[in-house]
Structure 1
Amino acid sequence: MDTLEHAIERAKAQLQLQAPRVVLTMAQTGLALVVNRLQTEGLKGRRYSTSPLPKFFFRPTNAAGRDYVKRSKKPTYAGLREAQGMETRFVNLTYTGRMLRSLAPVPAGVVASIFQARIVASDAENAAKLEHNRRREGDFLAPNAAEQREVDTYAQRELDRIIQTELNA
């Protein structure tokens, strides 16, 4: 029969072993929740520009967009998005969708026994877009309070599961 002391030591070892996976899953969960919010609710209080821009600025993604730029005397970014059938009620940082799809959590090391992860873009082009949007919009990838509670709940359940597995072994 195993002693409580041995079970606790096994639980501590399993927590150390499983922590990187738990942290990466927390980061992925948080990222998925934030991206979902961005795409369904957008950045609060932000709307796409209705100021006219020079035609060379536009990069339409479909024939309707090309037609809009060609026919419009004073094209706007909001108008281009509308012509292409894209969201125009709020800024959602999704034009082609590549920037948000390129994001993924990566291990960021351990500091004082605290495992960390970062959200990074998978390539230089999307990293530049991400940095540009961060400078303009602030930390738009930060989870809100409800999203953070959901991530925390996952972490607590997973840690409880690991501990219970070892204590009941």
Structure 2
Amino acid sequence: MTGPAVILVGPMGVGKTTVGELLAQRLGTACRDTDEDIVQAAGRPISEIFLDEGEPHFRALEREAVRTALAEHTGVLALGGGAVLAPETRQLLEGAPVVFLDMDVAEAVKRVGLDAPRPLLMMNPRKQWRELMDARRPLYTEVATAVVSTENRTPDEVVGEILDVLELKQQ
């Protein structure tokens, strides 16, 4: 098989990067985060890209970052929260080992406080988060091989479940 060993999708603050790094360590491979790829390529934070050039420009950068990472990376890949919005991204994920890391709004409040500098949560963050998840949850589920809840669980527990459900061998 070519492409990433595991691809993590889910909402902002669910722990894709944290879980991804730990999972990669347990699998003896590297972790890559497409949001970090975008920040490195653009030389500035995602929030600035959103504010200066708008969401459509950011989404174009995101589609390219995902396409490149899926073609190049063989370890664990964490996608940005909105990456699944693009039909072409969802098509690229078909047949891939994708894990949807899930949580509810109460858990999101605990994790990100919903007051962090997240461009899509600037006004009424709880309401915005619920609306984002209402729109995105079906897309996360559509691309997922497995759904793993992160609620009230440590990153180690989440990684253990991912390894079990995908039947992956640890190093």
Larger CA Rg, structure 1 vs 2? 1
TM-score, normalised on structure 1? 0.26
TM-score, normalised on structure 2? 0.26
